Structure 1
Amino acid sequence: MSAVVDSAAPETAQTNQHYDLDPRIFGLFLDPRRKYSSGYYREPGLTLAQAQTAKLHFVADRLGLRAGDRLLDVGCGWGALILFMAQEYSARVVGISPAGNQHAYIAGRAAELGVADRVSTVQGHFEHAALPDGPFDAVTMLGSIVHMPDLGHVMRRARSLLRRGGRYYVSESCFRNAAARDEFDRRSGTEFVRQSIFGWGDMRPLSDLVRAAEDAGFSVISVDDLTDDYRQTIDDWIVNVDANAESIDRIAPGMAATLRRYLEVANAGWGYTTKHYALVCQRSR
């Protein structure tokens, strides 16, 4: 495992206030892999853990991932995706995240799973961090582009790192249109999530993501609506927060209520003000 430290530029969003919380907190409400994005509930009766595993297979399928492929995961979190792709698909993976405590956790898990030779991480912000030389076969951003102010730069850089024919997967929560963004972007719930949880974030409409991808030179391959899947994911996270509230508050007093409010805000607007999409693009030329 390797880490490259990179200082944040002024225009780079700061999100560490949330991700640098005690790692034990995330273990108390996420699934065992600590995957912090939407699951995939397309079969009845799936548990949170099963839905998250299904989502990882879904991502691999959308990417056409094969053994030996190189994958870069931007905003790798606790390593759920990169560890899974290394273990289940024999991919060579790189994760990047600005949150320092995530890297030691990933290194430990990679060693435990016997995939340390295929897993590396970079500490920093994707916009300007030093990254291993390309080309990569795939680049993924699951819930991370929302924290990146310069959408055009991000997508151009992602494309530059891909081989010809390589695929770019972005899953993100979006305001359902520009009017909803204008109306709800500064509501109290949205501001609470910004100020108390993540820091800067912009839930752009899907049309903005598609336009930026096409302007960067990508061809759009598919768009999947995962709104209901994310609603169910958050419902399951809330159940876990409630079940483990005392343990969470022993680590960080008052955190259980803060998490519950954040998750309730996130689930309040699905289908009305917000949607969740998976956008897959290809560097065709």
Structure 2
Amino acid sequence: MPSLYGLLDNAIKIGRLTMTDAKGAVHVFGGKEPGPEAAIRFTTRAAEWKIFLNPELNAAEAYMDGELVMDSGSIHDLIKVFYANKRHFDLSPSQIFWRGLSRKIRRFHQNNVLSRSRANVKAHYDIGEDLYKLFLDRDMQYSCAYFPDGTATIEEAQTLKKRHIAAKLDLKAGQQVLDIGCGWGGLALYLAHVADVEVLGVTLSERQLAVARRRADILGVSDRVKFELIDYREVQGTFDRIVSVGMLEHVGVQYLAPYFLTVRDRLADNGVALIHSISTKSPPGVTGPFIRKYIFPGGYAPSLSETIVALEPTGLWLLDCEIWRCHYGYTLQHWRKRFLDNREAAVTIMGERFCRMWELYLSIAECVFLQGSSNVFQLQIGRERDGVPITRDYIGEEEARIAEGETEFLERVVASAAQALEE
């Protein structure tokens, strides 16, 4: 009779998993090839059957509920064992069934009409800044940082990310900029100081909006850096530059084409947009059940092929495509460590079950980028083929120029986040 023991015996080829069942019997899987190791224990017999029937979702829920506990190591060690052997897990009958079903109904999961988009944003981004302060950098950048050699601190890497984006946008004084999915306002405020541009940041998070507006007031730039609680589909007017970091993942596959049509319609003549999104080197897929249910409802990181298919009918030029491979993995390493360093405070704020869920989220995400197939792309698109210089040389030159004058405003911009969050 098929069982969880058979599934694990067939799947774990790299590393070793030691499992103590609910009756106290010890089972060892793998060990033939060196790799990560973990030891777990089940507190209920029911958990074993639930995980056998739906491994990805039910294993996560068992850990959240205390039915699966770590006998040695951390949950991150268990996740590393899983990702080292993911190819074999994906071939198991239960995984094939659930992935197939998810593919058939993924448009339902990603049906991000306006009302549903607002609810999805609220479920993740409006749970309170006190949690995010525990693991993000001081500027509250909740997206992939930029690690040119992998050694930067999270504060340095997030500044490098903003500088890189500003340089690629080739900003000119007086331009109008739209920031789609502006978060707590850090990037919009940075761009306004880099090039004396006017920025409109839009978000569906009420809490992020309040912080972003307060930061603009603190810095005395609310006359030219404005933030609105509206969906990108509701924005009116045209802009010289559009930037969107970490928002395309919330659009939904069936809305990719309308999204890029909206970007086109909001771009002024000779306008340029930079779209930064999680993606994958793999063909189109689905969002994992744990992430979809507990972390990012309605979320989906589109493949590059899906994105380009949606972009091509708009008539816009794809001016450049940059692939970031390990950067988000390094970002998540910092976030996970900082979260664990502040776990006691997180439990006080959100409770033990939530913290187990958040550990899973950060660990899975880190492994997806460092062991799996996920990456990040930055698409530079425009109305004209020469919207930016035709080689990348200008990016490094612009980064150097920005860096020279950055210190005079960077600390004030970053400090505004702490002040706004305290009020």
Q: Secondary structure of 1:269's match?
A: helix
**Equivalence for 1:15:** 121
Q: Residues 70 and 91 of structure 1 are in contact (CA less than 8 Å); yes or no, is this contact kept in structure 2?
A: yes
Tell me the TM-score normalized by structure 2: 0.60
Alignment deviations for residues 200-259 of structure 1 (CA, whole Å, 9 cap, x no partner): 012211121122222112111111111211111111111110111111221111333222
CA distance in 2, matches of 1:17, 1:214: 33
| TM-score of the pair, normalised by structure 1 | 0.88
Kindly provide the amino acid, as one letter, of the partner of residue 265 in structure 1: I
Measured against aligned partners, the alpha-carbon deviations of 1:163-189 in whole angstroms (never above 9, x if no partner) come to 1221111111113222xx44xx26xxx
SS of aligned partner of 2:263: helix
Give matches, 1:125-164, under 5 Å: 125-127=231-233, 129=234, 131-134=235-238, 136-149=239-252, 150-164=255-269
> Contact 1:28–1:244 at 8 Å: present in 2 too?
yes
Residue number in structure 2 paired with 1:239? 337
Distance, in Å, in 2 between the alignment partners of 1:275 and 1:46 is 19
Shift of residue 44 of structure 1?
5.7
Aligned residue type for 2:223: D
Give the letter aligned to residue 293 of structure 2. Answer: Q
| Cα shift at 1:88 | 2.7
Say if 1:241 and 1:219 are closer, same or farther in 2 by CA, change over 3 A: same
Give 2:9's aligned residue. none
Please identify runs of 4+ aligned residues in structure 1 that moved more than 6 A: none
Counterpart residue type for residue 191 of structure 1:
P
Where structure 1 has 5 or more consecutive residues not aligned to the other structure, the ranges are: 1-6
SS in 1 for 2:268: strand
Tell me, yes or no, if the aligned pair for 2:150 and 2:330 is still in contact at 8 Å: no
Alignment of 1:21-36 (within 5 A): 21-36=127-142
Displacement of 1:279: 1.0
Match of 1:59 in 2: 165
Q: Partner letter of residue 225 of structure 2?
A: V
- Rounded to whole Å, the distance in 1 between the matches of 2:342 and 2:229 is 30
Amino acid at match of 1:160: D
Give me the whole-angstrom Cα distance separating, in 1, the residues matched to 2:368 and 2:342. Answer: 25
2:367, 2:272 → 1: CA distance?
32
2:376 equivalent to 1:276: yes
Shift of 1:10: 5.4
Cα shift at 1:115? 1.6
**Which structure would you say has the larger RCO, counting Cα contacts within 8 Å and 6 or more residues apart?**
1
C-alpha separation between the residues in 1 aligned to 2:192 and 2:240?
14
3-state DSSP of counterpart to 2:311: helix
In the TM superposition, what are the counterparts of 1:209-248 in structure 2 within 5 Å? 209-248=307-346
Structure 2 unaligned blocks of 5 or more: 1-112, 386-423
Please give the alpha-carbon distance, in whole angstroms, between the structure 2 residues aligned to 1:10 and 1:118: 31
Percentage of identical aligned residues: 27
Contact 1:22 1:251 in 2 (8 A): no
Q: 2:348 aligns with which of 250, 265, 281?
A: 250
Deviations 1:13-34 (A, max 9, x none): 7222010011111111111110
In the other structure, the counterpart of 1:175 is 280
Q: Name the Cα RMSD after superposition.
A: 1.9
Distance apart, 1:89 and its partner CA: 2.4
Count, aligned residues:
269
The alpha-carbon deviation at position 269 of structure 1 amounts to 2.3
SS in 1 for 2:290: helix
CA contact (8 A) 1:29 1:237 kept: yes
Match of 2:188 among 68, 82, 102: 82
> What's the offset of the Cα at 1:66?
2.0
Determine whether 1:263 maps to 2:372: no
In 1: Cα distance, 2:149 partner to 2:172 partner = 25
Judging changes above 3 Å, is the alpha-carbon distance between structure 1 residues 207 and 12 closer, same or farther for their aligned structure 2 residues? farther
Query: Does structure 1 conserve the Cα–Cα contact (< 8 Å) formed by 2:184 and 2:212?
Result: yes
Task: Tell me which residue corresponds to 2:213.
Answer: 107
